[in-house]
């Protein structure tokens, strides 16, 4: 992300509150805040960052019926929360890591990797309710107000009010999304979100034992030595313990004993199984995809390509798998083999930045410059990266558009001054300015 300029910081001072306090919508207590964030600003922050967060986690899982089902469950919970007026949105992201996350203002996602481990709708409701609890308590906003993400948050707020040039907002929103995804919650925040999630479940008519079932499942994962994906996902950002599980069970017994074996409070197992049919059918192919990614990370590129091919054979029209295979071929410098897979991935789903970038790179190598610019601009719009920015700068140069090339090179050099693409961009700036 470009550094927060002095001018932008000064322009944002109006949002700062001396010795500021913010009222927690859940507890009603005043909390220390370095700067105030209104409800409308909170919503704007989340809505700007959410698409970038989804891109960073593989894009949306391509199953419209499942997406609608998860959103219906989430909306049902959001409407019984302390903040029913928020514009809640719920997405299933195409990531194998078991995880869920909430951004300010009601933007919430659950990964394919977590959802496929569930058995009923009440378990899904417990996760979504927990994430809604983080939203209603403004936990992510508090992280910004405590200073953790202060600079980025001010930059995005400034940009949304017209204080930053076009393109800067996308970079800042991407950086804010990354920061919020990396932000972990305190034990007290997790305990509070657990209780709130149970409250919302019961008020929405779900059996809170679904939450107990899921926590017991999480505990078994930890007790048995959690797999790397769990440690890298849910357990990293949402610290879990037996104490949390015991607290949830005690809270239900104390507050909601009347729900036990009460038919008014549902699990909805059949509805959940029906909605997740395709999700479970894709799991074997995605297991191969995950294995291929691990082989690629360990430098075994030929074995990775062979494994991606197995995954693509098992699930021929899955864009993320085709993208993985196409990008692996590109890293092996096999453009001819990469092209059809990336073309098919974009044809099936043009809303994922990596496939658009890979196809744009191929077009540029084959001197189809206008096509390259189209794909690379689409990639940057979806998820700006220094790599795509540098390559797009080269495409602008080939078009003879020196002004656009310089503008993009300068953005890349500022965002990544010590990195490979930032240094390469700085070199190109010098060469172009000497002409």
- Among residues 26, 18, 36, 239, the alpha carbon closest in space to that of 134 is found at 26
Say how far apart CA 97 and CA 79 lie, in whole Å.
Answer: 28
Helix (H, G, I), strand (E, B) or coil at 10: helix
pLDDT attached to residue 114: 94
Burial class (CB in 10 A: 0-12, 13-18, 19+), 143: buried
pLDDT attached to residue 37: 78
Residue linked to tokens 């928020």: 86
Cβ pair 210, 267 in contact under 8 A: yes
Q: Which domains does the chain have, with CATH numbers?
A: 6-259 (no CATH), 278-433 (1.25.40.10)
Q: Is the dihedral of CA 221, 225, 229, 231 positive or negative?
A: positive
Give, for 111, the enclosing helix (H) or strand (E): strand 107-111
**What string of DSSP letters covers 165-195?**
-TTHHHHHHHHHHHHHHHPPPPHHHHHHHHH
CB atoms closer than 10 angstroms to residue 390: 23
Helix (H, G, I), strand (E, B) or coil at 4: coil
Residue 236 has which token pair?
């990293």
Give rounded-to-5 percent helix, strand, coil for the chain. 65, 5, 30
Positions in the chain short of pLDDT 50: 1-19, 160-166, 169
pLDDT attached to residue 189: 87
pLDDT attached to residue 147: 57
Cβ pair 285, 321 in contact under 8 A: yes
Say how far apart CA 418 and CA 415 lie, in whole Å.
Answer: 9
Per residue in 284-315, pLDDT tens?
999 999 999 999 999 999 999 999 999 999 99
What are the residues whose beta carbons fall under 8 Å from the beta carbon of 175, sequence distance 6 or more?
A: 1, 152
Say how far apart CA 37 and CA 183 lie, in whole Å.
Answer: 18
pLDDT attached to residue 12: 41
**pTM for this prediction:** 0.87
pLDDT attached to residue 187: 82
Helix (H, G, I), strand (E, B) or coil at 100: strand
């Amino acid at each position: 992300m470009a550094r927060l300029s002095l001018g932008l910081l000064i322009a944002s001072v109006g949002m700062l509150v001396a010795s500021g306090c913010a009222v927690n919508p859940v507890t009603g207590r005043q909390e220390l805040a370095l700067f105030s964030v209104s409800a409308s600003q909170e919503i704007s922050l989340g809505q700007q960052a959410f698409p970038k967060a989804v891109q960073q986690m593989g894009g949306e899982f391509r199953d419209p019926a499942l997406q609608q089902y998860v959103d219906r469950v989430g909306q049902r919970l959001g409407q019984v929360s302390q903040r029913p007026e928020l514009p809640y949105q719920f997405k299933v992201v195409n990531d194998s890591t078991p995880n869920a996350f909430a951004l300010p203002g009601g933007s919430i996602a659950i990964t394919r990797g977590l959802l496929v481990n569930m058995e009923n709708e009440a378990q899904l409701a417990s996760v979504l309710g927990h994430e809604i609890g983080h939203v209603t308590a403004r936990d992510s906003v508090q992280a910004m107000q405590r200073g953790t993400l202060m600079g980025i948050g001010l930059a995005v707020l400034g940009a949304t009010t017209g204080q930053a040039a076009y393109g800067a907002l996308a970079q800042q929103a991407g950086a804010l999304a990354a920061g919020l995804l990396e932000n972990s919650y305190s034990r007290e925040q997790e305990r509070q979100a657990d209780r709130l999630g149970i409250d919302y479940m019961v008020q929405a008519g779900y059996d809170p034992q679904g939450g107990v079932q899921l926590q017991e499942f999480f505990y078994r994962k930890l007790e048995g030595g959690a797999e790397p994906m769990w440690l890298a996902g849910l357990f990293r950002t949402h610290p879990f313990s037996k104490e949390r599980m015991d607290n949830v069970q005690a809270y239900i017994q104390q507050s909601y004993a009347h729900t036990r074996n009460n038919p008014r409070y549902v699990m909805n197992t059949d509805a959940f199984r029906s909605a997740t049919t395709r999700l479970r059918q894709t799991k074997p192919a995605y297991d191969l995809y995950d294995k291929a990614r691990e082989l690629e990370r360990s430098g075994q590129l030929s074995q990775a390509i062979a494994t991606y091919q197995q995954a693509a054979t098992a699930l021929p029209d899955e864009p993320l798998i085709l993208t993985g295979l196409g990008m692996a071929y590109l890293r092996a410098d096999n453009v001819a083999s990469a092209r059809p897979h990336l073309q098919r991935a974009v044809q099936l789903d043009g809303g994922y930045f990596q496939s658009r970038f890979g196809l744009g790179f191929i077009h540029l190598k084959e001197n189809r410059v206008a096509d390259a610019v189209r794909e690379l601009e689409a990639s940057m719009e979806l998820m700006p990266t220094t790599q795509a920015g540098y390559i797009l700068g080269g495409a602008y140069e080939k078009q003879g558009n020196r002004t656009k090339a310089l503008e993009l090179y300068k953005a890349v050099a500022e965002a990544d001054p010590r990195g490979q693409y930032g240094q390469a961009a700085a070199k190109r700036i010098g060469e172009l300015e000497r002409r």
